[in-house]
Structure 1
Amino acid sequence: MSSDYSARHLSVLEGLEAVRKRPGMYIGSNGSRGLMHCLWEIIDNAVDEALAGYGDHIEIRLRDDDSVEVIDHARGIPVDIEPKTGLTGVEVVFTKLHAGGKFGTGSYASSGGLHGVGASVVNALSERLDVEVDLNGKTWAMSFHRGEPGIFDDGGREPSPDAPFTPFKEKSELRVVGKVKKGVSGSRVRYWADRQIFEKGATFNVDDLQGRARQTAFLVPGLTIRIDDERAASADSNEIVTSEYRFDGGISEFVEYLAADVPVTDIWRVSGSGSFTETVPTLQPDGSMVSAEVERTCEVDVALRWGTGYDTTVRSFVNIIATPKGGTHLAGFEQGLLKVVRKEVEKNARRLKAGNDKIEKDDVLAGMTAVLNVRIPEPQFEGQTKEVLGTPAARTIVSKVLTDALTEKFSSNKREDKNQASVVLDKVVAEMKSRISARAHKETQRRKNALENSTLPAKLVDCRSSDVEQSELFIVEGDSALGTAKLARDSSYQALLPIRGKILNVQKASVSDMLSNAECAAIIQVLGAGSGRTFDLDASRYGKVIFMSDADVDGAHIRMLLLTLFFRYMRPMIEAGRVYAAVPPLHRIVAINGGSKPNDVLYTYSEQELHGVLKGLERSKKRYKEPIQRYKGLGEMDADQLAETTMDRRNRTLRRVRVEDAEAADAIFELLMGNDVPPRKEFIVDNSRNLSQDRIDA
């Protein structure tokens, strides 16, 4: 590298070249996430048309040639000439950054597309993109190769990005390729993602696509979104996997879909609007920019309800674009909600026995499922990925709309409203008391206090080391396993905590029930980091927590119950990769050696592995002692065997518990361990045919 630095070292990237050089700036990443973001840029354009009242049907086709096609029946992309560039509307939309009909031109009252870069970015990152527009009784078509307009010579075959491509030299051409009936309009966009840009393993995830299509259908009542996945079809089967979504109930149905627990209130619907002014640069006819004050209207639509559970699910959207990281609208929602509930609790403090403690946001949100959607012309987002809303006025407007509506709800004289309001206040105050109790519990569980205090369970067999990173806590099943583990452990860094049988299923129990359960309380107390929202990972007394249970059905159930406890109340331990399951062997084989050579001891961990080892010994013409020892429980193992196979760091095998997708894991825990029995019964019946009887005790 040269030390001199002058203007000749600077690079100026023009147009779509900048997109191809730095795709992450526009789509977040060049993996599967970025690939899906490109698809949603095209779909969102069709959804914006539906929001404006044009077209109520969108089709998405995942082709088996690695392309994807989006079809709408809206107004169609303009095909006439744009006066400033002299190009057709189609070419402007797909080749010019920051060009479109969403810059306050009156084409859209509100839209998800804002920056005019979505379609052009997808085009720049596509090896081939074909667009067809039905308009004015004709079908117009244009093709692009990595953002450059031209013609592909497919030779009568199926379209392919590998077909010979000829770019336009002097003037681009929007071709007429067919006719349509009068009044028929719409657009079709098909593209092949450029594998020079995207990672080799990047794919369109149909589950993510279905999830977002369902979400969009909830947010735009009356809109039908259909997904055809042709990739699953084979030469033997032409079956196309199709899914279709349409919801006329809007976000009320969305809340009902998201909620997993039993409701304690009906779905409360809140709607309203507010006006604000902002100074924006306005494009003049001569091309100059002049600042002007513009009056905007922010429309607010909220659906919420409380349930018997304790988890919070709040989804926020701006012009139907998801804002997973929130923003000013979500801050206004939480502010208005907290303000009203605090006021109502203060008014009813005597009945509720709330004392002088103050309600916090998490107390109000516990057990709530809510969907917040605001519509703002030209909202301010932080970046093209639109994950955070920055429009300041949204906070005040959302807060006021929610405050007015909830105040009216809590003040209503209707019997049903009064009953539901009373239940909500009782739940919020109970959550506040649980939080305060948990905080007090946390303070007494710090490592220093725990070591000096006699309240640590007497059955804990602690280690000598004070190095948290090196220390390990084994949660063992029963006193019989504890006796063997005591002799097998390294007492300098391995601690033991026996539990008696199966602990409480905390998925069905309240926080107070969990804390009053002796086994659950002992685990939380020994770990010393608190529980729930007050859990402090840095305060944990042990670097690893290892479940060591028998290799049978009961042992698997105990592991599941322990995992449920950690997932619900100590989830940061799992997220940090500090929770493990020990893998003790199932069989011990003693292979007989001839002469004075000591016999070989072999351990196997499944029936399949056992049969493989025995066949290997037979092929080697080696004898083995019979009967082969089968460990039904950890208590049957000698201390040296347990140390060698399960506890010694040099030889043992541990399974790390991971949470790759918290939402999916949460759904599985609710299905397997929750209060709702029929879905669990259906799950067991449907999957029973996939379970081999040999696996039950192996």
Structure 2
Amino acid sequence: MTTTAESSYTARHLSVLEGLEAVRKRPGMYIGSTDSRGLMHCVWEIIDNAVDEALGGHGDRIEVVLHPDSSVEVRDQARGIPVDTVEKLGLSGVEVVFTKLHAGGKFGGGSYGSSGGLHGVGASVVNALSARLDVEVDRGGRTHRMTFRRGEPGTFADGSGEPGPEAPFTPFVDGSELAVVGKVPRGRTGTRIRYWADRQIFPTSATFSYDELVTRARQTSFLVPGLTLVIRDERRLPGTPGAEGPVEETFRHDGGTADFVDFLGQDTPVTDTWLLRGSGDFNETIQQLDGKGHLVAAEVTRTCEVDVALRWGIGYETELRSFVNIIATPKGGSHVTGFEQSLLKVVRKQIELNARRLKVTGKNSKERIEKDDVVAGLTAVVTVRLPEPQFEGQTKEVLGTAPVRAVVAKVVENELTRILTSTARTEKAQAALLLEKVVGEMRARVSARTQKEISRRKNALETSSLPDKLADCRSDDVEQSELFIVEGDSALGTAKAARDSNFQALLPIRGKILNVQKASLADMLANAECAAIIQVIGAGSGRSFDLEAARYGRIVLMTDADVDGAHIRTLLLTLFFRYMRPLVDAGRVFAAVPPLHRIETYGSGGKPGDLIYTYSEAELHKNLARLDRSNKRYKEPIQRYKGLGEMDADQLAETTMDPAHRTLRRVTMSDAARAENVFDLLMGNDVAPRKDFIVAGAAGLDRDRIDA
């Protein structure tokens, strides 16, 4: 008789994991993973407990130390973990916090109004996944100490050396002991936790990231004004800021979320940083412990405090950070949904009310303002504080408390409407600029969609809607094709004869295009030269730019080698930087390098000799000196090219357009923030810094090079 799989599966196959065994068996359930990300999550659990104390007004300083022995220590000056005995368990508060899951002061006992910790598993999970954890608590004028090995309390025989997980360990047998190891002034309180991650759980490749700690500390200092956070790295790891010795950074910001937005926003502002603050109540059914220790359902009224800081800049990237209490929610949640819905609703309404001034047709328009139009250039920090928020999982990446959406939406709607309808001169002017920007983004999106439709390559039986002045190439291979943007019609004629029409296209522009750093988005789209460039490239502009749709593999800016040519090249680069940045990021924008001089040598018997092209004054003098040393004659005066049109077609092809001989200068974006600052300095609205820049560099100006 055979036994079926169903009948062989009985109750004896079931396992029940008690206490911290579950954490060690399934660590990913509690910390997400066991790589470096999970290792860092353990640090956040301990730090967040200290920050929760600061949120409650207890303590204003937290220190985090990365020790050379791979341990981490977190120190705070808060109330200290309770050291008295928990009556029902007969254990000290310290042992309960570090050995019992779902134990702590955040389950409705009134210890915390709002906190990041909710489940009471943070400290105990870190303890379970540590080869050793030491905790010291200053409270009641004494220092209390307890140590654990993989979650089990006991004592380590450290001797006279540094403490470590390898020291002999003796677990408590009859009863646990919270040792008193010193005295402190009665008013001093605080907690010090030091732990060594268990390498049975975490691989040796998992390491603590100093940069992540610094980023998190800076972020927390913005969210908890007045809190000082110190990060110190004593590991001396190669390739880290502390490679040469211990490094320490301190963070404290008293301006809150407004300072955070100012830190995140790197582009030139369109509006000031606006604060939208308020609160709202909602009812929630929860489970509470009654006097007999039983869970019963109860309806409670929650208060949700909303703190939103936001500003718009001239760019089109969106930077949105969201937090619940102090916990970052990178995947959003109900608070972000409420913010975005209300933001779109308010801006749409204001544009409809100002439709005539903004030259839009209002409610009956076929094109409506969309979320992407509103959030273009937006930098925002959305923070809510409420008791016992509901997250999706212990990693707390998404807020699930549904009523928060309506509370946030109402606060944002009321406060943003107040600002956008304000009669104060500054706010009224900024509101007008914002609405113009949003309408411009809408028009850019519509224009980009239209351009993509009309700029697809046509076959021989179709007509093209591309600009008539475009001299397109025959190849439809994007990787091989090149678009030369040529300065002026005079150079176009020579370039047409010099190019290889199989893969090289030409687009002439008339003089200096619009300075898009100063102009609005609408003005840029209305400019014929800018519109032609965007249409010919065929990938749209701004946040709707699609690199995959670009019709050419290389964009080459070919301008004269003089001051005007340099100015035109700068204007073109400003256009690409502001509205087609992915092309620059991908390394597909180049500047042609035409020669400055041509040296014509004499051969034997006075016959024409070689032609030598030079690209700088230094290279010219070096070549002339070499010719003089070898007694070779050359025709004088030396020809100086002031424009591409002065070259013959064969000369332009050989020096500037033929891939076999030319030189191209790739435009890169190694430091976008610095590049944007330079563009704003040279091309922006603020004249004073530009004047200072010119005055500062005047002493080093060589007048003879102005023509170059």
State the TM-score, normalized to the length of structure 2: 0.73
CA distance in 1 between counterparts of 2:341 and 2:558 reads: 47
Q: Residue type of the partner of 2:322?
A: S
Distance 1:119 1:578, change over 3 A: farther
- Whether 1:453 aligns to 2:464 is yes
Relative distance call for 1:21 and 1:63 in structure 2 (3 A) is same
Structure-2 residue corresponding to 1:440: 447
Amino acid at match of 1:102: K
Q: Hey, what does 1:190 align to over in structure 2?
A: 194
Q: Contact 1:304–1:371 (CA<8 Å) still a contact in 2?
A: yes
The Cα shift of 1:143 comes to 1.8
Structure-2 residue corresponding to 1:151: 155
Q: CA deviation at 1:80?
A: 2.2
Match of 2:116 in 1: 112
User: 2: distance between equivalents of 1:499 and 1:37?
Assistant: 56
Aligned partners of 2:573, 2:205: CA distance in 1, in Å? Answer: 32
After superposition, the Cα gap between the structure-2 partners of 1:441 and 1:655, relative to the gap in structure 1 and judged at 3 Å, is: closer
- Separation in 2, partners of 1:636, 1:133: 78
Distance (Å, rounded) in 2 between the aligned partners of 1:453 and 1:401: 51
Given that residues 222 and 252 in structure 2 are in contact (C-alpha distance below 8 angstroms), is that contact kept between their aligned partners in structure 1? yes
Task: State whether structure 2 residue 438 is matched by structure 1 residue 428.
Answer: no
1:219-245 deviation per Cα after TM superposition (whole angstroms, max 9, x unaligned): 2122111222223499x9995322222
Structure 2 CA distance for aligned equivalents of residues 572 and 3 of structure 1: 61
Looking at structure 2, the residues matched to 366 and 112 of structure 1 have their Cα atoms a distance apart, in angstroms, of 30
Aligned to 2:602: none
Counterparts in 2 of 1:505 and 1:198: CA distance versus 1, 3 Å: farther
Q: Give the aligned partner of residue 40 of structure 1.
A: 44
1:204 maps to which of 202, 208, 211: 208
1:128-527 alignment to 2 at 5 Å? Answer: 128-232=132-236, 240-356=246-362, 357=365, 358-412=368-422, 416=424, 418-446=425-453, 449-451=456-458, 452-455=463-466, 459=470, 461-462=472-473, 464=475, 471-474=479-482, 510-512=520-522, 515=525, 521=531, 524-527=534-537
For structure 1, list consecutive stretches of 5 or more residues without a partner in the other structure.
Answer: 585-632, 648-653, 660-664, 684-698
CA positional deviation for 1:396:
1.0
CA pair 540-482 structure 1, distance change in 2 beyond 3 A: same
Amino acid at match of 1:298: C
Offset at residue 298 of structure 1 (A):
0.7
Q: Is the 8 A contact 1:447 1:539 kept in 2?
A: no
AA aligned to 1:433 is G
Kindly state the Cα deviation for residue 394 of structure 1 after the two structures are TM-superposed. 0.9
State the 1:483 CA deviation.
8.5
Query: Which residue number corresponds to residue 705 of structure 2?
Result: none
Equivalent in the alignment of 1:594? none
Matches of 1:321 and 1:117, distance apart in 2? 15
Q: Deviations along 1:57-78, whole A, 9 cap, x unmatched?
A: 1111122222221100111112
Note the residue ranges of structure 2 that are not aligned, 5 or more in a row. 594-643, 645-650, 694-708
Identity, % of aligned positions: 57
In 1, distance between residues paired with 2:475 and 2:356? Answer: 50
Partner of 2:632: none
Residues 185 and 268 of structure 1, relative CA distance in 2, 3 Å threshold: same
Kindly report the root-mean-square deviation, in angstroms, between the aligned alpha carbons of the 2 structures. 4.7
Change (3 A) 1:347 1:151: same
The CA deviation at 1:363 is: 3.5
- Counterparts of 1:572-611 in structure 2 under 5 Å? none
| Worse overlay, 418-427 or 58-67 | 418-427
Structure 1 length normalisation: TM-score?
Answer: 0.74
Alpha-carbon distance in structure 2 between the residues aligned to 1:21 and 1:447 = 59
AA aligned opposite 1:436: R
1:9–1:183: structure 2 CA closer, same or farther, 3 Å change rule?
Answer: same
Q: Check 1:523–1:131 CA distance in 2 against 1; reply closer, same or farther (3 A cut).
A: farther
Q: 1:29, 1:185 → 2: CA distance?
A: 34
Q: Which stretch shifts more, 183-192 or 514-523?
A: 514-523
- 2:604 — aligned with what? none
CA deviation vs aligned residue, 1:640-697 (integer Å, no higher than 9, x gap): 99469999xxxxxx999899xxxxx6534434444489999999xxxxxxxxxxxxxx
Pairing 1:16–2:20 present:
yes
Amino acid at match of 1:259: G
Q: CA deviation at 1:250?
A: 2.0
Tell me, in whole angstroms, the C-alpha distance in 2 between the residues paired with 1:280 and 1:224: 35
CA drift at 1:91: 2.1
Asked if the contact 2:270/2:433 (under 8 Å) is kept, the reply is no
Query: Shift of residue 368 of structure 1?
Result: 3.5
Report the structure number with the largest CA radius of gyration.
2
Deviation at residue 420 of structure 1 after TM alignment: 1.6
User: How far did residue 508 of structure 1 move?
Assistant: 6.5
Change (3 A) 1:390 1:642: same
Q: Is the 8 A contact 2:307 2:384 kept in 1?
A: yes
- Partner Cα distance (2:4, 2:468) in 1: 66
SS in 2 for 1:292: strand
Report the 3-state secondary structure (helix = DSSP H, G, I; strand = E; otherwise coil) of the residue aligned with 2:162.
coil
The 1:548–1:306 alpha-carbon spacing in structure 2 relative to 1, beyond 3 Å, is closer
Residues 596-675 of structure 1 aligned to structure 2 (within 5 Å): 642=659, 666-675=672-681
Distance 1:460 1:84, change over 3 A: farther
Give the count of matched residue pairs: 614
Q: For residues 267 and 444 of structure 1, do their structure 2 counterparts lie closer, same or farther at Cα, with a shift above 3 Å needed?
A: closer
Q: Is the 1:360–1:432 contact (alpha carbons within 8 Å) kept by the matching residues of 2? A: no
Decide whether the 8 Å contact of 1:93 with 1:100 is kept in 2. Answer: yes
Q: Distance in 1 between matches of 2:4 and 2:566?
A: 64
Question: Partners in 1 of 2:443 and 2:452 — Cα distance?
Answer: 14
Mean Cα deviation higher: 378-387 or 17-26: 17-26
* 1:499–1:206 distance in 2 versus 1, CA, 3 Å: farther
Q: Equivalent residue for 2:615?
A: none
CA distance in 1, matches of 2:498, 2:217: 53
Mapped contact 1:314–1:369 kept (Cα < 8 A) = yes
Against the structure 1 CA distance between its residues 273 and 483, is the aligned structure 2 distance closer, same or farther, given a 3 Å change threshold?
Answer: same
Letter of the structure 2 residue corresponding to residue 444 of structure 1: Q
Mean alpha-carbon deviation: is it higher for 529-538 or for 178-187?
529-538
AA matched with 1:19: V
- SS at structure 2 position matched to 1:446: helix
1:566–1:323 CA distance, 2 compared to 1 (3 A): farther
Which secondary structure state, in structure 2, belongs to the residue aligned with residue 444 of structure 1?
helix
- The CA deviation at 1:379 is 0.6
